[in-house]
Amino acid sequence: MSPKRSRHRERRRTNNISQQTSVSSSRSTQKAAPAEPSPAERYARSRKISTAGSVQLEAFRSEFDFELDDFQIEACIALESGDGVLVAAPTGAGKTIVGEFAIHMALAKGRKAFYTTPIKALSNQKYHDLVRKYGPDAVGLLTGDTSINSNAQVVVMTTEVLRNMLYAGSSSVADLGYVVMDEVHYLADRFRGSVWEEVIIHLDQSVQLVSLSATVSNAEEFGDWLSVVRGSTTVVVSERRPVPLWQHVITSSRGESPGGLLDLYAHHVDPTDPGVNPPINPDLLAHMRRGSDAQFRDRRGYQNRGRGGHGPRGGGQHSGQRGPPRFAVLRELERADLLPAIYFIFSRAACDDAVAQCRASGMSLTTEQQAEEIRIIAETRCSSIPPEDLQVLGYWGWLDSLTHGIAAHHAGMLPLFKETVEELFSRGLIKVVFATETLALGINMPARTVVLEKLVKWDGSGHVDITPGQYTQLTGRAGRRGIDVEGHAVVVDHPGLDPIALAGLASKRLYPLKSSFAPSYNMAVNLVDQVGKAKAKEILETSFAQFQADRGVVNLARMASKNTEALEGYREAMECSRGDFGEYMKIRAAITVREKELSQQVSGQRRAQITQDLIDLRPGDLIEMPTGRSAGYGVVIARGYDQDFHGPRPTIVTEHGRVKQVSTAELPHGLSNIGYVRVPKEFSERKPADRRQLSHALTHALRTGEGLRPTSEDGSVTPRRRSNAQDDPVLRDLRASLKAHPCHGCPEREDHARWGHRLRQLEQDHRTLLRKIDGRTGSIGKVFERVCVVLRELDYLAPDDHGNFVVTQSGRSLKRLYAENDLLLAQCLQTDVWAQLDPSQLAAAVSTLLYSSRREEDTSVMIPGGPDGKLAKALDETVRVWSRLTDLEEANRLQETQDLDFGLVVPMHKWVRGRNLDSVLHGTELTAGDFVRWCKQVLDVLDQIVQATDNAALRRSASQAITSVKRGVVAYSSV
């Protein structure tokens, strides 16, 4: 079919939609005038872009059978002229064309080019794209656990791999000319965002950087920073989607209204530029109101469950209607010719349920020919899976759904299954994919329509509204360039949906890029080893995080200037005709200070009493600590003795099962000895099970009152002692001076005093503001200093003869450890807690540093080998290492290393021992995809251990564990 004929067919389909629903592409449009220029408008060029003299760009353009967009041409011209470029444009706009031009330049000049992405799936996809264009000899792939043709002239890799290469001084970066950083806005990610900034900072200045980003509102700021750290950088911003996006809501029937697919905006609004606060489609509002009026009369018993919030889900009067079922939504989209679609549901289980529901309804979206083609592709891709694993993987049900054009896509799936779905969808064979938000990150699966079931997601601690940036990223998949003349974003009506808030969400396309950069332990030892501590601090203070913090100081400085003016005004208002009122206020302040001193004397006596209370504690005493850092309850397991300046420090187990020492400094208001809990003779603080058992006994006593002392007998908090201010001669003299001061008899004394108090309060606030300015200035460097203190304490850094820090032998081991819990891993290696473990035990122990349960799980794990076995003892030691490290981090005001999680210990141990997949997953919450993903991370850390440890036995055990993990589903899952 010719492109022209295809366009006419697409327009005819769209017109059909407008007749059946309120969707229309032939309406008159009226653009709302923006309140201020957008980033794209600020960067728009009034001149016609000329490519004259751009020899490489002309050669590159000849490879395509379509014209490049202006923003692509502008970025390529800048790149050919020697500038770095930042390209910010919507999903599907064609940013990667600029990255491919950098590769073209590298090949033409005989230089190397690296193409980096945030996730392995994107790297795999880009690798295959480039292989198709340049051939397998020219392109390589590096993703941590996979290496293909790594010495090629063009190498695709994850950003972490490039960061590690830079720190390791890899020879692969020699003759590197270009680096493309795809999805560079990922540097805002709070877990892994630092990696992008590390790469940008450490790349040699001779390397031209191509940064590809979603459209962000502070592109100029990010570009300014790139210019500072990388040299001349051209910023190119495009907000225009190549395929216009229409916004809809799909509703079920309400009262006499049949529902269906309704436009979100009023008919005169241009959906590609809705402006600020665009008006809502009156038909949609009327339909929502009908549902609100009718809901209480609905015989099916639907109730108004809305929470009345102000976000897109807190829709007050519109919050009671239950939306259409998923298969009904798809039927409507199929009728309106809006498939294929990506249907976002923020739950793995719900994605699988949706597939099952559609199949149970008898839905089939493929022809017999398409079904057969799907079957052949899926069976070919999965032919390497052992037959005995097919049932546990749910292969047959998955294949059946595929052949009917329906699939799920989420992180819990086997990678091989996900990749098959991606291929089938990109070929147009799969008509709907129920997906979690991970699909929105760059994977090339465009659709005609994107459906959002709800506008809330779980963020790890609670359900929150999705942000405008997330909405833009999700709906950006709608509209296939070169296939569709327009894309469609559809929100399913659901309890709490507020169309007005949804319009605000959909029309706000831009969001700011905020740095999440923070110095890590691995980063610190690498930098100190390369350039020394002083220079390392300077380098870190060139980060985007510090750049943004310094700009924030400008606003604080303005506030400080205003404060200075206000202070002068307060001083004038405080003036008194009878004398120096400032002097009078100083006497009043001195009285306040003396009263506090007397109170502190009493506090000293009170601290002495608290010290004695701590000395008197015995094992089993149940104590309450009402305030302070250790506030809460605990059971004493070891006495405290007054042996150093810290005073007595008895050891307790808290109600959360953590072992701590408490001191006078942590108990500003004392403690109460409220009861007794028996501590078993065989109790060991090193055993997690013993700690959990004691903490359970504590909470049981608090809940039931068993073992608690009567109020009259408890060791209650030491009562406050009052100071006898009347007997203090200093205070008497100050009060006499106050009465004798000439301002004391002024009839406006209290008015003056009020201004004086305001002056004093503003002076305090001003000092706080100045401290905040000082804290913002060099804040990254200050965190780095605290990181170095921890590393010095643990002997990873040491002072040399000139007072500088040098990296120790232990530090050189840490340099090669890039895991998220890098220092904990290093400590486990340095203290030999894993030295005696066999391969299965080592892999299980490593998993505790990596694994994170998706939900609250039973923490009582039966450790293979029993409580006295090698693995159990090693895990006890690992807990102690972790506890000491987190105490040190807390003392230095650093983010504490995440808790250990034993949830993967048994499955990992079984797998390395050779058990089959069914046995490994039995009785767990793990899916096959989850298990493979965690295995990949364990493999990565095991490989790091091989590179970092000096212990030959541990290295051998790690190597054997790698071989044993990399089998079955783990081995045949794609990279």
How many other CB atoms sit within 10 Å of the CB of residue 234? 19
**207 and 200 Cβ atoms separated by less than 8 Å:** no
631 to 623, 654, 720, 817: CA distances (angstroms):
10, 10, 19, 36
Q: Is the pLDDT of residue 144 over 50?
A: yes
The whole-number average pLDDT for the span 6-12 is 35
- 215: Cβ contacts below 8 Å, ≥ 6 apart: 39, 40, 88, 89, 90, 237, 238, 239, 472, 509, 510
- 517: Cβ contacts below 8 Å, ≥ 6 apart: 187, 193, 194, 197, 543, 544, 545, 546, 780
Helix (H, G, I), strand (E, B) or coil at 303: coil
More confident residue, 851 or 974: 851
Strands 659-661 and 651-654: antiparallel
The whole-number average pLDDT for the span 894-898 is 90
Q: Is the pLDDT of residue 22 over 90?
A: no
pLDDT grade for 307, boundaries at 50, 70 and 90: very low
pLDDT tens sequence across 870-892: 999 999 999 999 999 999 999 99
Q: Is the pLDDT of residue 334 over 90?
A: yes
**381 and 419 Cβ atoms separated by less than 8 Å:** yes
717 to 591, 665, 671, 672: CA distances (angstroms):
29, 15, 5, 5
The angle subtended at Cα 553 by Cα 549 and Cα 555, nearest 5°, is 125
pLDDT grade for 319, boundaries at 50, 70 and 90: very low
**517 and 778 Cβ atoms separated by less than 8 Å:** no
User: pTM of the full predicted structure?
Assistant: 0.70
Q: What per-residue confidence (pLDDT) applies to 716? A: 43
Q: What per-residue confidence (pLDDT) applies to 719? A: 42
Structure tokens at 753: 């005093």
Q: What per-residue confidence (pLDDT) applies to 176? A: 95
Percentage, residues of the chain above pLDDT 70:
84
The whole-number average pLDDT for the span 367-378 is 96
**843 and 912 Cβ atoms separated by less than 8 Å:** yes
**251 and 268 Cβ atoms separated by less than 8 Å:** no
The whole-number average pLDDT for the span 406-428 is 90
Q: Which stretch of 348-362, 502-516, 569-583 has the lowest confidence by average pLDDT?
A: 502-516
Phi, psi (deg, nearest 5) at residue 872: -60, -45
Cα 797 to Cα 809: distance, rounded to the nearest angstrom: 9
Q: What per-residue confidence (pLDDT) applies to 8? A: 34
Q: Is the pLDDT of residue 860 over 70?
A: no
The whole-number average pLDDT for the span 438-463 is 76
Q: Is the pLDDT of residue 855 over 70?
A: no
More confident residue, 643 or 431: 431
From 363, 367, 290, 370, select the one nearest 333 (Cα to Cα).
363
370 to 418, 425, 428: CA distances (angstroms):
19, 12, 9
Rounded CA Rg of the chain: 33
pLDDT grade for 51, boundaries at 50, 70 and 90: low
Strands 456-458 and 463-465: antiparallel
Phi, psi (deg, nearest 5) at residue 212: -110, 125
Q: Is the pLDDT of residue 497 over 90?
A: no
**209 and 181 Cβ atoms separated by less than 8 Å:** yes
How many other CB atoms sit within 10 Å of the CB of residue 756? 24
Structure tokens at 570: 């307060």
pLDDT grade for 775, boundaries at 50, 70 and 90: low
Q: What per-residue confidence (pLDDT) applies to 587? A: 87
Percentage, residues of the chain above pLDDT 90:
39
Please report how the helices 905-912 and 870-891 are oriented relative to each other, as an axis angle in degrees rounded to 10.
Answer: 140
The whole-number average pLDDT for the span 822-848 is 96
**The tokens 């993703």 sit on which residue?**
143
More confident residue, 605 or 708: 708
Q: Which stretch of 312-316, 650-654, 770-774 has the lowest confidence by average pLDDT?
A: 312-316
Phi, psi (deg, nearest 5) at residue 84: -80, 160
From 425, 417, 482, 415, select the one nearest 450 (Cα to Cα).
425
**246 and 488 Cβ atoms separated by less than 8 Å:** yes
**516 and 544 Cβ atoms separated by less than 8 Å:** no
Strands 139-142 and 147-148: antiparallel
pLDDT tens sequence across 584-607: 888 888 888 887 777 767 667 777
**792 and 798 Cβ atoms separated by less than 8 Å:** yes
How many other CB atoms sit within 10 Å of the CB of residue 517? 25
pLDDT grade for 974, boundaries at 50, 70 and 90: low
**270 and 253 Cβ atoms separated by less than 8 Å:** no
Q: Rounded to a whole number, what is the largest CA-CA distance in the chain?
A: 105
Cα 430 to Cα 371: distance, rounded to the nearest angstrom: 9
Cis peptide before 340 (omega within 30 of 0): yes
DSSP annotation of 232 reads -
Sequence letter at residue 137: D
Q: What per-residue confidence (pLDDT) applies to 705? A: 83
How many other CB atoms sit within 10 Å of the CB of residue 45? 10
**H and E: helices and strands count for the chain:** 35, 24
Structure tokens at 617: 């504690």
Rounded to the nearest integer, the mean pLDDT of the chain is 82
Alpha carbon of residue 684 to chain centroid: 37
pLDDT grade for 273, boundaries at 50, 70 and 90: confident
Q: Is the pLDDT of residue 123 over 70?
A: yes
Q: Which stretch of 205-209, 602-606, 920-924 has the lowest confidence by average pLDDT?
A: 602-606
Structure tokens at 25: 């592409």
**What residues pair up with 115 in beta bridges, in sequence order?**
156, 180
Cα 666 to Cα 543: distance, rounded to the nearest angstrom: 36
Categorise residue 298: left if φ over 0, alpha if ψ from -120 to 50, beta otherwise: beta
Q: What per-residue confidence (pLDDT) applies to 717? A: 41
Q: What per-residue confidence (pLDDT) applies to 534? A: 85
pLDDT grade for 508, boundaries at 50, 70 and 90: low
Helix (H, G, I), strand (E, B) or coil at 286: helix
- 28: Cβ contacts below 8 Å, ≥ 6 apart: 268
Cα 685 to Cα 879: distance, rounded to the nearest angstrom: 10
